Amino acid sequence: MQHAGWCLGIALLFALCLVPPGRASGQDILIFRPDAEPRTEYTTPNIVLTLQISAFSPIQSVRVNDQPIKAPKATFVLVFQPLQLHPGLNRIVVEATTEFETAHQEFIFNLKLIKSEPGAAERPRLGYQFTGLAGLQYSSNPTKAAGDAATTPGTRSFLIGVPRYDISTGPQSRLRLQSIISRDRYDVKSLAVLEVALTQLTASLLVGEKKPSEWALGVGYNYIDQTYRTLLKGQVHLEDDSFVFGSYERQFGKGSAWSLGLEYKNQNLKAEASDPDREEDARVTTGTGNLLWVVGPVRVKGLLSSAVTDAIGKYKDQTTSRARLEFARPMGSFLPSLGVRIKKIVYKEVDPLLGGKPDSLLTSGVLTVNYQLSASLVALIEAVKETQTSAVPSAAYNNQSLMLALAYIY
């Protein structure tokens, strides 16, 4: 232990000698930004402040602008703190405390918002972006078994990747090429029929760059397999979909926005029903409305949608309505949210084999907590309790699920 303390002392002395004037913050505590050339000027308000804090004795607390920051009680602490800058000069004061000393270090950041010349159009953001999601989800009733029927709980592992590339097509327009690649696998062999491999490709033209409005028009294609075999392909090809879509989004207030969307899809299932009246190939028209409303520190999200399915089989014609309401409030690096989701399916015809119309109402309560690990990495946990009721007993079920995942944005 004495040897370790001696080495730490030498390392701190060496670091203090290397830190340029203005970075050292105390006789026994060192607070600095580890960037080789720390930036002090920014053109976007949301940044992540990276700090390295070292001391001879364990650090008891860390505060940024008088707000406590969660940090381990150790002699070396690395901090990633999201900040929202205001136009002009921003004074950020970092305070670190040990049992023997309190040290302060001040940083000045300058936010320069780039303003366009009068009448000049702003260039859209271009380039490549990748979003990835990996995680585990436990479900008590993944097969949606009805009533008192025996259920088989299972855990699903999943990978989702969303690469996209934006190409400039004008001063305020861009062509977006995007793909969604989703793969999952269950830990129980009997649940393999629930495994889905989805590959989606879309191309869309976006105009307006959300200042204050943006509209989009695009085309897309879905390729869906069933039962995991490799990362590239499943064992059974299920479905091909082609679709066109359009949307309009408008911002209002401070950080709030609403949008409307319309999609027309040609749904082609590979499995053919023996009874033409139960054939599920269909044309599906979906209208959607979204709302993001920022009220002080609270974010309110809402969604309403209606999908009309015109199937070849008359017993498969249906209207699916969805509603979602969610309340979220940022708390430092945490973003907890609580919401409810409702899904109602109404069939057009009475199915004589079922003795009625299998209309259903699914209600879900959702609790989600996100934690910002770094500027590009987020951990999330989501708990869902869902109950479906139906006039047909075989369509009613209960299910609880818990998901743990990591999301990465590059």
Residue (of 289, 219, 298) closest to 254 by Cα position = 298
Residue 234 confidence class, pLDDT cut points 50, 70, 90:
low
Give the residue, 285 or 409, on which the prediction is more confident. Answer: 285
Beta pairing class for 29-32 and 46-55: antiparallel
Q: Is residue 121, in this structure, part of any structural domain at all?
A: no
- Whole-prediction pTM value? 0.68
pLDDT at residue 147 in the model:
72
Domain boundary among 87, 111, 135: 111
Q: Is residue 118, in this structure, part of any structural domain at all?
A: no
* Rounded CA Rg of the chain: 27
Indicate if 107 and 149 belong to the same structural domain: no
Indicate if 98 and 154 belong to the same structural domain: no
Indicate if 77 and 189 belong to the same structural domain: no
pLDDT at residue 244 in the model:
97
Indicate if 215 and 282 belong to the same structural domain: yes
Residue (of 324, 339, 338, 336) closest to 379 by Cα position = 336
| Segments forming the whole domain that contains residue 349 | 127-409
Tens-digit pLDDT profile for residues 33-51: 765 445 677 777 888 888 8
Indicate if 61 and 181 belong to the same structural domain: no
Tens-digit pLDDT profile for residues 261-309: 999 999 998 777 778 888 888 999 999 999 999 888 889 999 999 999 9
Give the residue, 393 or 158, on which the prediction is more confident. Answer: 158
Q: Is residue 16, in this structure, part of any structural domain at all?
A: yes
Q: Is residue 120, in this structure, part of any structural domain at all?
A: no
Q: What percent of the chain has pLDDT over 70?
A: 85
Q: Is residue 79, in this structure, part of any structural domain at all?
A: yes
Q: Is residue 119, in this structure, part of any structural domain at all?
A: no
Indicate if 191 and 79 belong to the same structural domain: no
Indicate if 216 and 185 belong to the same structural domain: yes
Q: Is residue 390, in this structure, part of any structural domain at all?
A: yes
Indicate if 89 and 157 belong to the same structural domain: no
Residue (of 304, 300, 301, 223) closest to 261 by Cα position = 304
Indicate if 186 and 232 belong to the same structural domain: yes
Beta pairing class for 318-328 and 377-390: unpaired
Tell me the average pLDDT of the chain.
83
Residue 371 · residue 334 · CB < 8 Å: yes
Tens-digit pLDDT profile for residues 148-171: 667 889 999 999 999 999 998 888
Indicate if 144 and 76 belong to the same structural domain: no
CATH of the domain at 75: 2.60.40.10
Q: Is residue 122, in this structure, part of any structural domain at all?
A: no
User: Which residues 6+ apart lie within 8 Å of 58 measured at CB?
Assistant: 73, 74, 75, 98, 99
Indicate if 78 and 213 belong to the same structural domain: no
Other CB atoms within 10 A of residue 24 CB:
17
DSSP state of 123: P
Domain boundary among 83, 111, 139: 111
Residue 105 · residue 32 · CB < 8 Å: yes
CA dihedral (18, 19, 20, 26) positive or negative: negative
CATH of the domain at 232: 2.40.160.40
Other CB atoms within 10 A of residue 56 CB:
16
Indicate if 77 and 171 belong to the same structural domain: no
Q: How many domains does the chain have?
A: 2
Tens-digit pLDDT profile for residues 321-374: 999 999 998 887 888 999 999 999 999 988 888 777 889 999 999 999 999 888
Domain boundary among 78, 111, 144: 111
Residue 397 · residue 146 · CB < 8 Å: yes
Instruction: List, edge to edge, every strand of the sheet that includes 29-32.
Output: 29-32, 46-55, 76-84
